[in-house]
A and B are shown apart, each in its own frame.
Chain A
Amino acid sequence: QKEVEQNSGPLSVPEGAIASLNCTYSDRVSQSFFWYRQYSGKSPELIMSIYSNGDKEDGRFTAQLNKASQYVSLLIRDSQPSDSATYLCAVTGGATNKLIFGTGTLLAVQP
């Protein structure tokens, strides 16, 4: 079992819709959770961090964390073509004490 799992996609959504990206992790004692966005040919860019159960909103982005289910998600409201990118989930802490990335979900927002 991979430490951090994401559906590779592509996830295709129409412009203006809500994009929902999901991530599960295996280390039950993980403490910090991050979402990064990576455009093709560019390096990852931090867009959200979340540390406690529940929702955290920042503009059009909402991160959701459920530690009991070992699940973290990212919602993008009013999706724009400029949101088309690979979204990487990253998890830190726990037994490994490392920042471990999932392989990413490719999001394609159709105009």
Chain B
Amino acid sequence: KAGVTQTPRYLIKTRGQQVTLSCSPISGHRSVSWYQQTPGQGLQFLFEYFSETQRNKGNFPGRFSGRQFSNSRSEMNVSTLELGDSALYLCASSLEPLGGYTFGSGTRLTVV
């Protein structure tokens, strides 16, 4: 059974650019969440989607957005990148919202 797949694994972007990260959940999982992980802040909740609907959003600026498609795949977008957006972005999926999540390997974003 394939796990949670995140692409790309690594990204280097310049300040002011935008980026789109992709996540394919485990087959059959309809809940997808995104987290930002940094050494200082730990895992910070970005958003949660279930059946194409955003159920919850964390305390991030509007530059961070996301969506979920009918096949449960999800994307997150960060516009007008700032140096502080450099982090590991993790996607996690579960059968139901707020269930035990399975995490993907993450996308390491570096903003220069």
Interface size classification for chain B = 20 to 34
Does the CB pair B33–A99 fall under 8 Å?
yes
Chain B contact residues: helix, strand, loop or mixed: strand
In the complex, which residues of chain A have a beta carbon less than 8 angstroms from the beta carbon of B104?
Answer: 43
Nearest CB in chain A: distance from B49 CB, A? 13
In the complex, identify which listed stretch (A58-66, A68-76, A101-109) lies at the interface while the others stay far away: A101-109
Contact with A along B81-112 (1 / 0, CB 8 A): 00000000010000000111111111000000
A103 — nearest CB in chain B belongs to which residue?
B42
Does the CB pair A34–B100 fall under 8 Å?
yes
In the complex, which residues of chain B have a beta carbon less than 8 angstroms from the beta carbon of A32?
Answer: 98-99
Nearest CB in chain B: distance from A2 CB, A? 10
Q: Is B48 an interface residue (CB 8 A)?
A: yes
Does the CB pair A101–B90 fall under 8 Å?
no
In the complex, which residues of chain A have a beta carbon less than 8 angstroms from the beta carbon of B41?
Answer: 103
Most-contacted residue by chain A among B33, B48, B55, B98 (CB, 10 A): B98
Q: Is B28 an interface residue (CB 8 A)?
A: no
- Residues of chain B having any CB pair with chain A under 8 Å: 33, 35, 41-43, 45, 48, 55-56, 58, 90, 98-106
- Residues of chain A having any CB pair with chain B under 8 Å: 31-32, 34, 42-46, 49, 88, 92-93, 96-104
